[in-house]
């Protein structure tokens, strides 16, 4: 449950501004400290402990601490890159077939267990790095490919079934990745674990699922609105499209649209 590891999230810079900054006068000015990250982390902790039930407010303050949807998108480069890589992987299989796609990725899939092949694929979709955003992107990739592995195993399929993934399954996997990334990044930035702050494990799971569902619903809606599909990942403009997608998701979560 939650992320496998939590790293030190962003902190507020020591920035003091006069309360009447725009007034050009000689009166003594009173200074106030603005600490959006401290406030966002406090609200998250209060939500987990049950002292604050305003889920939307927690998320909204997180986006505010990021500096708005545009800045949040700029800080999501690893997630955006992995989103594109994942989408292009499935797009390439659909267009070129399994053999050529894995050959181009330098992955030998013949004679290997499905789990082993997908494990190698993780390092192609998300690059290895000790940077927080790269780690979050990789964790979201692992979760998404684990979902794919479970689907293949439960239906007694082989690796070749990837050539038969339909648009509906593609959409599910992509939305799962993007919502997982945003969720994990938020937990990481806010330095939070539901199981560490809650004394009731069942309640903790319930609250975490509620939080995940709120983010996933936003992702699903924007995905449909922007009409993303497997064919989009063949287009030269895919980078701009995915950047726009994340920006609009963050804007909705931040309450600005």
CA 186 to chain centre: 8
Reduce the DSSP state of residue 32 to 3 states and report it.
strand
Q: Has residue 101 been placed in a domain?
A: yes
* Counted domains in the chain: 1
Q: Has residue 162 been placed in a domain?
A: yes
Q: Has residue 2 been placed in a domain?
A: no
Q: Has residue 11 been placed in a domain?
A: no
pLDDT score, position 42: 92
Which range of residues forms the domain containing residue 184? 16-253
Query: Which residues, in sequence order, are CB contacts of 24 under 8 Å at separation 6+?
Result: none
pLDDT tens, position by position, 160-201:
999 988 899 999 999 999 999 999 999 999 987 776 666 777
For the chain, list residues with pLDDT below 50. Answer: 1-7, 15-33
Q: Has residue 5 been placed in a domain?
A: no
Q: Has residue 7 been placed in a domain?
A: no
pLDDT score, position 93: 94
pLDDT score, position 257: 77
Q: Has residue 174 been placed in a domain?
A: yes
Model-level pTM? 0.87
Q: Has residue 3 been placed in a domain?
A: no
Cβ atoms of 65 and 10 closer than 8 Å: yes
CA dihedral 59, 61, 67, 71 (to 10 degrees): 0
């Amino acid at each position: 449950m939650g992320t496998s590891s939590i790293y030190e999230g962003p902190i507020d810079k020591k920035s003091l501004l006069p309360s009447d900054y725009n007034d050009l006068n000689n009166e003594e000015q009173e200074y106030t400290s603005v600490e959006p990250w401290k406030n966002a982390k406090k609200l998250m902790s209060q939500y987990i402990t049950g002292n604050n039930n305003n889920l939307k407010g927690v998320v909204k303050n997180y986006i505010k601490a990021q500096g708005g949807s545009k800045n949040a998108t700029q800080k999501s480069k690893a997630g955006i890159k992995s989103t594109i890589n994942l989408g292009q992987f499935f797009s390439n299989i659909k267009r070129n077939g399994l053999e050529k796609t894995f050959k181009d990725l330098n992955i030998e899939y013949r004679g290997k267990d499905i789990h082993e092949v997908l494990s190698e694929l993780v390092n192609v979709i998300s690059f290895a790095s000790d940077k927080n955003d790269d780690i979050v992107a990789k964790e979201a990739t692992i979760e998404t490919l684990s979902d794919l592995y479970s689907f293949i195993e439960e239906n007694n399929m082989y690796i070749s079934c990837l050539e038969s993934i339909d648009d509906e399954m593609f959409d599910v996997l992509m939305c799962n990745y993007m919502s997982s990334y945003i969720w994990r990044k938020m937990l990481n930035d806010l330095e939070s674990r539901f199981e560490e702050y809650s004394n009731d494990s069942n309640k903790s799971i319930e609250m975490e699922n509620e939080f995940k569902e709120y983010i996933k619903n936003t992702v699903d809606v924007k995905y449909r609105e922007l009409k993303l599909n497997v064919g989009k990942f063949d287009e030269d403009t895919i980078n701009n499209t995915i950047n726009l997608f994340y920006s609009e998701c963050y804007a909705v979560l931040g309450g600005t649209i």
